[in-house]
Amino acid sequence: MSDKQPIPIPAEQRWQDFRQVILPVIVFLLCIAGVMVLWLNRVSPSSVVGEARSENIILSSPRAGLLTKVSVGRFDTVKKGDPIASIDYSMDPNFADATVEWVRAQVDLLTLTIDPMQRARTALSYNQLRLDWLNERTSVAALKIELQHSEKEFQRIETLFEDTLVSESVYNKAMTNRDSYAVQVQQKTELVASIEQALREAQDNDPASQLDQEQIKRLDQGLSRVEELLKDIILLSPIDGEIGSISKQTGESVRPGETIATISSSQVKKIVGYVPQPIYLEPKVGMEVEIRTRRPTTSGLFSWLGVDRQVARAKVSKVSNRLEAVGSGVLRNRAAYKKVLPFTIDLVDLVDAEGEPIKLDIHPGELVDIHFIGAGE
In a domain, 239, yes or no: no
**284 and 361 fall within a common domain:** yes
- Report the pLDDT value the prediction gives residue 271, as an integer from 0 to 100: 93
Length of the chain counted residue by residue? 377
- Report the pLDDT value the prediction gives residue 315, as an integer from 0 to 100: 93
Name the residue with higher pLDDT: 39 or 296: 296
**181 and 211 fall within a common domain:** yes
**276 and 216 fall within a common domain:** no
Contact indicator for 314, 287 with CB cutoff of 8 Å? no
**221 and 97 fall within a common domain:** yes
| Predicted confidence (pLDDT) at residue 318 exceeds the cutoff of 90 | yes
| Predicted confidence (pLDDT) at residue 124 exceeds the cutoff of 60 | no
Q: What is the mean pLDDT of the chain?
A: 76
Across 181-185, average pLDDT? 85
Name the residue with higher pLDDT: 133 or 156: 156
Measure CA 252 to chain center. 21
Per-residue pLDDT tens digits for 48-99: 899 998 888 899 987 777 788 899 998 899 999 999 998 876 544 555 555 5
CATH of the domain at 50: 2.40.30.170
| Predicted confidence (pLDDT) at residue 214 exceeds the cutoff of 50 | yes
User: Which region among 119-128, 247-256, 288-297, 361-370 has the lowest average model confidence (pLDDT)?
Assistant: 119-128
In a domain, 300, yes or no: yes
- Report the pLDDT value the prediction gives residue 152, as an integer from 0 to 100: 80
- Report the pLDDT value the prediction gives residue 326, as an integer from 0 to 100: 82
Alpha helices in the chain (DSSP H): 11-17, 23-40, 93-112, 116-121, 126-162, 168-201, 213-230, 301-305, 328-331
Per-residue pLDDT tens digits for 199-211: 666 554 444 344 4
* Final residue in a domain of this structure, among 214, 230, 246: 230
**197 and 323 fall within a common domain:** no
**Within a 10 A sphere around the Cβ of 241, how many other Cβ atoms?**
23
Greatest CA separation found in the chain?
141
From the number of C-beta atoms within 10 Å of its C-beta (0-12, 13-18, 19+), residue 275 rates as buried
- Report the pLDDT value the prediction gives residue 123, as an integer from 0 to 100: 45
In a domain, 152, yes or no: yes
Domain that holds residue 289: 40-77+264-377
In a domain, 327, yes or no: yes
In a domain, 64, yes or no: yes
In a domain, 69, yes or no: yes
The number of domains in the chain is 2
> Residue 181: what are its φ and ψ, rounded to 5°?
-65, -35
- Report the pLDDT value the prediction gives residue 101, as an integer from 0 to 100: 64
- Report the pLDDT value the prediction gives residue 222, as an integer from 0 to 100: 62
pTM of the model: 0.48
In a domain, 304, yes or no: yes
**63 and 120 fall within a common domain:** no
* Final residue in a domain of this structure, among 230, 252, 272: 230
Cα atoms found within 13 Å of the Cα of residue 376, Cβ hemisphere only:
15
DSSP string, 272-290: EEEEESS-SS---TT-EEE
* Final residue in a domain of this structure, among 230, 251, 283: 230
d(CA 213, CA 113): 13
| Predicted confidence (pLDDT) at residue 31 exceeds the cutoff of 90 | no
Q: Sorting pLDDT into bands at 50, 70 and 90, what band is 376?
A: low
In a domain, 245, yes or no: no
Q: What secondary structure letter does DSSP report for 18?
A: I
- Report the pLDDT value the prediction gives residue 317, as an integer from 0 to 100: 94
Across 105-134, average pLDDT? 58
Question: Could you tell me what percent of the chain has a pLDDT over 70?
Answer: 66
Per-residue pLDDT tens digits for 258-271: 999 999 888 888 99
